[in-house]
Structure 1
Amino acid sequence: MPSSQDGPWLDDAAGRLIRPYTVSGGRTKPSTALDLLSMVMATGSAPQSHMGPEHTLALGLCDGPTSVAEIAAHLRLPAVVTKVLLSDLVDCGAITAKAPRFHAHSSDRSLLEAVLDGLRRRL
């Protein structure tokens, strides 16, 4: 029985009724190199070709710089499917993507403190 808040595509017993690979058209490799920490942001131009509802939802989440991981969490889709959707949006010019910037040492204390601070603000 579908839960009323989840809509018709989720079922309490069966889970997601549309499998994630159908959302990406069966594709498992994005055309744009995206990391979970890559930041994406809408350009303001609308996609020229028809996009699916998941593309529209993803684009709506890109008003400000947002990480690929955060978009995947909001869409409740696997990261690889989200990367395929976002790469479609990059290809059509609807969003831009920037690779994550790391300091010389990825275990730098200031980076770890910034991550911890961000997590505390979210909770």
Structure 2
Amino acid sequence: MTISDVVWYDEDAGPLVRLYARVGGRAPVPRDDIELGTLIHCVPDVAAPPGLSADQQAVLRLTRRPIALPEIAVRLGLSLGPTRLLLGELHAAGLVRTSRPAEDKRGSSLPVLQRLLTGLRSL
């Protein structure tokens, strides 16, 4: 159980605070570069300003090493939308950076995709 779970979840009652309350009712920052495969990492040697939320502080701790958006969302116990919001705000503040994983140079030919689909169906 993560620290976020302890604060925002009660075993008997379920979620104690709705998601929009955890992000202060803010709307997501439109960021096209924060996709599912995007790696997020904190900017080294930058001190976090006072007044960050518990979730923003947790993101900064998690991003000491490169980590993908879905993994951050899972560890915070948030859906992707609020997680993107937190990451967008931290990126705008210059506290985190984003990078995309290297693209596969082999390409995605139709026969390869068909073999993959056949293999998945056989499972």
TM over 0.5: yes
Give the corresponding residue for 1:30. 29
TM-align CA RMSD: 2.5
Q: How far off is 1:58 after superposition?
A: 0.8
Residues 57-68 of structure 1 aligned to structure 2 (within 5 Å): 57-68=58-69
SS of match in other structure, 2:87: helix
Task: Give the greater-gyration-radius structure (CA).
Answer: 2
- Can you list the C-alpha shifts for 1:78-115, whole angstroms capped at 9, x where unaligned? 11111101111101111101234433635797xxxxxx
Q: Alpha carbons of 1:28 and 1:9: their partners in 2 closer, same or farther (altered >3 Å)?
A: same
Aligned residue number for residue 47 of structure 1: 48
Of Structure 1 and Structure 2, which has the larger fraction of its residues in helix? 2
Moved more, 13-22 or 76-85: 13-22
SS at match of 2:6: coil
Tell me: CA distance 1:57–1:89, structure 2 relative to 1, closer, same or farther (3 Å). same
Q: Do the aligned partners of 1:31 and 1:88 also contact (CA within 8 Å) in 2?
A: no
- Show structure 1 runs of 5+ residues with no match: 1-5, 110-123
Normalised TM-score (structure 2) = 0.71
What is the CA distance between 1:15 and its match in structure 2?
1.3
| Matched AA of 2:61 | G
Identity %: 28
Alpha-carbon deviation of 1:23?
A: 1.9
Q: Which residue of 1 aligns with 2:12?
A: 13
Report the TM-score when normalising by structure 1.
0.71
